[in-house]
A and B are shown apart, each in its own frame.
Chain A
Amino acid sequence: MMAMLSHTHRSDSRKLQMKLNLIAFAAMAGLLVIAPFAIYPLLVVQILCFALFACAFNLLMGFTGLLSFGHAMFYGWSAYIAGHVSKEYGATPELALLFGMATGAMLGLIVGALAIKRQGIYLAMITLAFAQMMFFLAVQMHAITGGEDGLQGIPRNRLFGLIDIDSTGRVYWFALGVFLLAFLAMWRIKRSPFGENLKAIRENEPRAISLGCNTARYKLAAFVLSAAFSGLAGSLKAISLQLATLTDVGWQISGEVILMTLVGGVGTIFGPVIGAVVVVGLEQMLLGFDDWIPVIYGSVFVLCVLFFRKGILGQIQHVFQKD
């Protein structure tokens, strides 16, 4: 009887899932619209950038099962490039974002092409090593990155050359718009045939290969997409917060984005957003005790890996699915 019902049951639960996701999206958008009235807007912008970054990371880890330990290179270098073109060439924000995304995509293509042949643990080590190389390059290439000082006071030029976004209030709406559009785009990617194939590869790669799927291509494409959206997050950060520094390309950021995704729930749609809120929230709570931040992050990491691998959202879904 279970077998007979399972098909309709499954499509029913899918519809329900979709409905829940739409409600969640509306709730998230609604919260974000009122957030700047309750919380300092630039703090929310920081959350949005991290959330976008974590969603991009999740595109790789959650949907393809590949762990990159070097996503800071996409985030950080895109921030530099977006900042650089805004500062030196007066590029409009949408152009700067495009440049940033392209930077991420290009780096992703190069690193991905070299690394994707190797799986699991190898991929993590290789990406970490390349990210470190990009960190050293950032230290050396003063002309673009500003070296130790980084890029400060990046101008917020007029959006499309027309709209002024140069105030805390205005830049918030700009960042929110970019975030929501990018979020929807990644959601759409997950639900597309491409996303379904990624899922098939993650669940059973040999089977996907035997069905004639060129899995290496798909993985590389996922890697590049993830890098591109990470680049979008980095450049959004550079423009909205007017800052791009070595911190953005350091290995700690690569660790932080893993932490956000892990805490929120790997592979879930909204998990990374929750993770970003939690991590930035922790940081705010520890303001003044900065020294303790790594210790707390490390402890959260350990707890998550040992007891809580599904993350907050994954755990909630698990409980509901049991009923």
Chain B
Amino acid sequence: MEQLLENTADGTAAAVDLEVSDLNAWYGESHVLHGMNLTVRKGELVTLMGRNGAGKSTTLNCINGLMRKRKGRIQFRGTDILRMAPERIARMGIATCPEDRAIFSSLTVGENLHLPPLLNERGMSVEEIFDLFPNLRDRLGTASGAKLSGGEQQMLAIARILRTGADFLLLDEPTEGLAPIIIDQIAATLKILGERGYTVLLVEQNFRFAQSVADRHYMVDEGRIVDQFSNDLSDQMKQKIEKYLSL
């Protein structure tokens, strides 16, 4: 398999999992992404940060194939996926946890958890998942996904994609609207995922959370990447970042 190599911040070479170049996207006539460029290496946790409406979710939806009208280049592990249907992209190992969490109200919690088909044997077992999210264990029999609290829904949304064996995760604002204690739990989960070699592209507006989990940050504004830096520098960049995130 052909794999692109690129130097990481600390000088070592790592395989590039995802390379997005000159990505443009439209909703009907309205042009919302104007030449996005970004790279995610294997095992990295990279964030997309920026204010509401900057184009972060749209970028994720271009990668997972849901966005219809898109142009440019998206390479995933050496394959061009720009024209692929979402279900094919998913079977290559890209899983999405969308901003609205997409918990299905007509499915029980158990059905929600078991909905995504397994892609390979490398996924987590249900036991491992319950170790990560103990609360879910008791809620398994709940008759409707809609009856869960926001935090539980978020955990379920992450849990169900960990079962499948997908190892490239697109997470869209997983901490939005959640209590600090649950945010900590999600941070801990992301650390474990990092140790296990998952690659994560995380959309965030919560800078402190992002700083606690990420390797690298991209700043998105008006459909473009306007800045990027390694997490080591994030303290020095704090003011700048806050400016990007403010309204």
Direct contact of A and B (CB under 8 A): no
